[in-house]
Every structure is written in C-alpha cells, then in structure tokens.
Amino acid sequence: MTDAAEAVGGGEPPEERTAITEPGKLMRIALMLRGMQEEVRRAPTDQAGRERLAAVHERALTQLHSVLSEDLRSELETLNIPIDQQTPTESEILVAQAQLIGWLEGLFQGIQAAIFSQQAQARQQLEQMRRPGLPPGTGGAPEPGPQPRGTGQYL
C-alpha cells in the first residue's frame, strides 16, 4: 500500500498542488538526519566518519528528491548548498544537516497548516449543510423570546 499525502495551498489551482508521494519515507529520512546531527554534536568525527556523513547526506537528498513533487524539489535545490569537499569539516556537515532539517521541519509545518485549513473548511461546509434552508436575505434563525410585531399597516 502506498502512502500518499497532499499539502494544498489555500486557493491554488489543482495543478499547483504540492505533493509528497511517500510521507513515511520522508519522516524516516528526517528522523535519520536529526539523529546523525545529534551524534556529530556529541562526539568528534575522524576523516572517515566525516566522509561517511557526507555520503549519507547526499544519499538522503537523493531519496528526498524521489518523494517530493517538482515544485518542492526545485525549492530544495534552490536552498541546498552541496558539500563540495571530499572530506568536509564537522562544522560543514552540521550546517548542511541543520539547513536540511530546518527545511524539512518547515515542510512539515506547512503540511500541518494545510491540513488544519482543510479541516476548518470541511467543518464550515458541514455546518452549512446542517442548517435548514433559509430564504435569501434572512440573517439566520430568529432569536429566542418574544418577537416584535409589525404595525400591520401596509402602504
């Protein structure tokens, strides 16, 4: 079974939707990157460790590209600064991982905001469906209690 989730921006036409084809994979990559970042902060790494971290970082980017829509891929490519050296420094790895993790967290928050917006719209539509049909121009149900009576005179 394929996981699928869409984050839809408010009022955007369907062709401009932002989609994530495998949200589970996206979450696993984000959690792995966060774990790697914490590990690098805890203990210094040697040259081989830094090379390995750089390779894992590049593979994570490749895997992210496979689950993101074209517009998200383009955004990530625009913001991502590749690690140029064969053996990056610890600080370069930390900055690259922090940047990527920050982008992913922003993506998750955007998805949550879109879901919240969709739920609010759905609630509003449900409330409208539950209301009895009112003639045009009425403001809603009459207030409880005695109603003012007209004068009964017509002009």
Arithmetic mean of pLDDT, 109-131: 89
pLDDT of residue 111: 86
Give the tokens for residue 106: 């922003």
> In the predicted model, what is the mean pLDDT of the chain?
79
Structure confidence at residue 139 (pLDDT): 55
- What's residue 2's pLDDT? 38
Say whether pLDDT at 121 is over 90.
Answer: yes
Q: Which among 72, 62, 100 is positioned nearest to 7, based on CA atoms?
A: 72
The C-alpha atoms of residue 38 and residue 68 are separated, in whole angstroms, by: 25
> In angstroms, rounded to a whole number, what is the distance separating the alpha carbons of residues 64 and 153?
74
- Greater model confidence, 55 or 13: 55
Report helix angle 90-130 to 47-67, nearest 10.
20
Helix ranges restricted to H, the chain: 23-42, 47-67, 70-79, 90-130
Checking if the pLDDT of 22 tops 70, the result is yes
* Placement of tokens 């009459």 in the chain: 142
The pLDDT assigned to 84 comes to: 77
Percent of the chain scoring above 90 in pLDDT: 21
Would you state the pLDDT for residue 18?
A: 64
CA distance 102 to 135: 51
Q: Which tops the pLDDT comparison, 73 or 3?
A: 73
87-115 CB burial, b ≥16 within 10 A, e <16: ebeeebbbebbeebbebbeebbeebeebe
* Residue bearing the bigger pLDDT, 5 or 55: 55
* pLDDT exceeds 60 at position 42: yes
Predicted confidence at residue 90, as pLDDT, reads: 87
